[in-house]
A and B are shown apart, each in its own frame.
Chain A
Amino acid sequence: MANVFEIDELKVGYGKLEIIHGVTFSVEKNELFVIVGPNGSGKSTLLKGLFGLASIKGGKILFNGEDITKLPPHERSKLGLAYHPQLNNTFENLTVRENILLAGYFLDRDELERRLENVLEFLPEIRGFMERKVKTLSGGERQMVAFAMNMIKEPNTVMFDEPTAALSPKMADLIFDRIRRLKTEYGLTVVLVEQNAKKALEMGDRAMLLVTGSIKYLGPAQELLTHEDLASMYLGLRD
């Protein structure tokens, strides 16, 4: 069985505060795994825990069979895990090119050039604003820059934290489309946290519903979408 993540009784928090109260789940290779839940339920905290940015209070994280529970973020990054933060995911005062090059800080020049070409092929919209400072970009354009910063590292697994928050429907569709292609064309594993629950669940394989730091549902994504009680109670979905 090829599981990318094996998470066992994981507890995550900040300082003395425990936010995630012992969750157990796994993410399969090449799966699009969706995490939904109300504001403040701990979705971002869970991703931060998986990337090593919030403190682990208990439990265990296996990533491709390796125990990464205690590894610092840059070590996890070396194992092919990438994280797309919800906020502050780009450097505002640097140009788009500088942001992307910075993400590839450890690559030599030729390798960087080669990867940059690939990234720009995948996200061609970025070509139009490579030399602009990020603070002059729209929200959608910034998300694409953050996306590109992760792609330059050629990861095997990407965790997105609300990449479509506050975007126009058209821009959100574009981002969703690229996320889907990561899975279908590039064979990556994707963990996607989304407020835009309907769209995310429609394209996801399996889903988790997180409420106040505990799992309320874990199973096929489409089933959660049509689940009478849960969908209307926690996600504001009905049809």
Chain B
Amino acid sequence: MMLDTNILLDALVYSNMLALLSLSLTLTIMTLKVANFAHGDLAIIGVYGAYTFLILAHVATYLTLPIAFLFGGLYALLNYVLVYSPMRRRGANFVMLMIASMAIDIATRSMLQMYADVLKLNFKVYSRAFIFNDVVFNIAGTRVRGLVLISTLSVVSLLAILYVLLMKTKFGVAMRAAIENPALAEVLGINVEKVYATSWFLAGGFAGVAGFFLPFRIPTSPDLGFIILLPIFAASILGGINSLSGAVIGGYIVGVSEILGTYLLSQPPINLSTAYRPAIPFAILILTLLLLPQGIASLWSRGE
């Protein structure tokens, strides 16, 4: 059997999204030690923001990408300021924060459902199961789908920006310090609240960008955020939960395995239904916890 290029490119696009989502989930886990069940919703908030703008402004679809970043980021910031930060200051533990995130997930999806109705009634557009039409770029004679090009460029540039911010700026050093030891950072006079709020904004923005690419691949609806949660967690846990680079690599491993695995298993002689697709990230999740509980990041950070 032959893998055609389209499947490989689709795996790349899906992995790009997953890498952004697992990276941003990991960033929030590192700051607040919360397993955020509303993380997928940030992506959906982002894409609904971009879609709204698209309906209102009739611009080229890709121009609304920054809007998705902004909506995802602001919504995450709001979550942090209104819910997680007050809970942190009152000493809430891991379980309490997790339950709060479940509540936020339910509230967010209900809100999106209502918003979808508003969009539909006011603008007479598809507000559930909507899709974005792609464009084809011609680069030096090669035709490249916009989704492949833009999603890859987004990942590369966002990773580069995050790297420079964290490793080369004073604020980045303060950010890493506040993540590692908030008490000591506070003693040194660093505004830990500000650092955490910034991390949440960035994480939400990254998730929003990932969400923006969803309607190019699959019909997008308010509930999609919950459905994509499993592969995101699988990627983050495979990456080692506390490692940003691990999260990115985890995203690519889970993404590629999911797309190629589903394809290969659906071919003869196995002919498995593609409905079994979620079993792949689930299997990765379980195997990681059993065989490499510290994730792949432990493979390279051990010797440091």
Interface residues of A (CB under 8 A from B): 51, 53, 73-74, 77-78, 83, 85, 88-94, 98, 101-103, 105-106, 133, 135-136, 149
Per the bound structure, the CA–CA distance linking A103 and B190 in Å amounts to: 9
CB atoms of A83 and B187 under 8 A apart: yes
Across the interface, A91 reaches (CB within 8 A) one of B177, B186, B189, namely B177
Of B106-114, B140-148, B168-176, B216-224, the segment with at least 4 beta carbons within 8 Å of chain A is B168-176
17 further A-B pairs in the complex, CB-CB below 8 A; given A77-B188, A102-B177, A105-B170: A53-B183, A85-B184, A85-B187, A88-B181, A88-B184, A89-B184, A90-B184, A91-B181, A92-B181, A94-B173, A98-B173, A98-B176, A98-B177, A102-B188, A105-B188, A133-B304, A149-B188
Q: Given A73-B186, A77-B187, A77-B189, are A101 and B181 neighbors across the interface (CB < 8 Å)?
A: no
Distance (whole angstroms) from the CB of A119 to the closest CB of chain B: 15
Per the bound structure, the CA–CA distance linking A94 and B183 in Å amounts to: 16
B-chain residues with CB within 8 Å of residue A73 when the two chains form the complex: 186-187
Distance (whole angstroms) from the CB of B123 to the closest CB of chain A: 49
Across the interface, A92 reaches (CB within 8 A) one of B173, B174, B180, B188, namely B180
Q: Given A101-B173, A133-B304, are A106 and B180 neighbors across the interface (CB < 8 Å)?
A: no
A-chain residues with CB within 8 Å of residue B183 when the two chains form the complex: 53, 88
Identify the closest chain B residue to A106 (Cβ): B189
**Which residues from 166 to 217 on chain B have a C-beta closer than 8 Å to any C-beta of chain A?**
170, 173-174, 176-177, 180-181, 183-190
Per the bound structure, the CA–CA distance linking A105 and B187 in Å amounts to: 12
Per the bound structure, the CA–CA distance linking A89 and B189 in Å amounts to: 14
Per the bound structure, the CA–CA distance linking A51 and B186 in Å amounts to: 12
Enumerate 24 A-B pairs (CB-CB under 8 Å) in ascending A order: A73-B186, A73-B187, A74-B186, A74-B187, A77-B187, A77-B189, A83-B187, A85-B184, A85-B187, A88-B181, A91-B177, A91-B181, A94-B176, A94-B180, A98-B176, A101-B170, A102-B173, A102-B188, A103-B188, A105-B170, A105-B174, A105-B190, A133-B304, A135-B304
Identify the closest chain B residue to A75 (Cβ): B189
Distance (whole angstroms) from the CB of A10 to the closest CB of chain B: 20
Q: Is the interface of B mostly helix, strand, loop or mixed?
A: helix
Per the bound structure, the CA–CA distance linking A74 and B187 in Å amounts to: 6
Distance (whole angstroms) from the CB of B272 to the closest CB of chain A: 43
CB atoms of B174 and A102 under 8 A apart: yes
Distance (whole angstroms) from the CB of B55 to the closest CB of chain A: 45
Q: Given A88-B181, A101-B170, are A93 and B189 neighbors across the interface (CB < 8 Å)?
A: no
Distance (whole angstroms) from the CB of A60 to the closest CB of chain B: 22
B-chain residues with CB within 8 Å of residue A77 when the two chains form the complex: 187-189
A-chain residues with CB within 8 Å of residue B304 when the two chains form the complex: 133, 135-136
B-chain residues with CB within 8 Å of residue A89 when the two chains form the complex: 184
B-chain residues with CB within 8 Å of residue A92 when the two chains form the complex: 180-181
Q: Given A91-B177, A93-B180, A136-B304, are A102 and B186 neighbors across the interface (CB < 8 Å)?
A: no
Identify the closest chain A residue to B187 (Cβ): A73
A-chain residues with CB within 8 Å of residue B180 when the two chains form the complex: 91-94
Per the bound structure, the CA–CA distance linking A51 and B184 in Å amounts to: 12
Per the bound structure, the CA–CA distance linking A102 and B177 in Å amounts to: 8
Per the bound structure, the CA–CA distance linking A137 and B177 in Å amounts to: 17
Across the interface, B189 reaches (CB within 8 A) one of A51, A74, A88, namely A74
Per the bound structure, the CA–CA distance linking A196 and B184 in Å amounts to: 25
B-chain residues with CB within 8 Å of residue A93 when the two chains form the complex: 176, 180
Distance (whole angstroms) from the CB of A237 to the closest CB of chain B: 33
B-chain residues with CB within 8 Å of residue A136 when the two chains form the complex: 304
Distance (whole angstroms) from the CB of A113 to the closest CB of chain B: 14
CB atoms of B184 and A53 under 8 A apart: no
Per the bound structure, the CA–CA distance linking A101 and B169 in Å amounts to: 11
Interface centre among A89, A90, A105, A136 (most CB of B within 10 A): A105
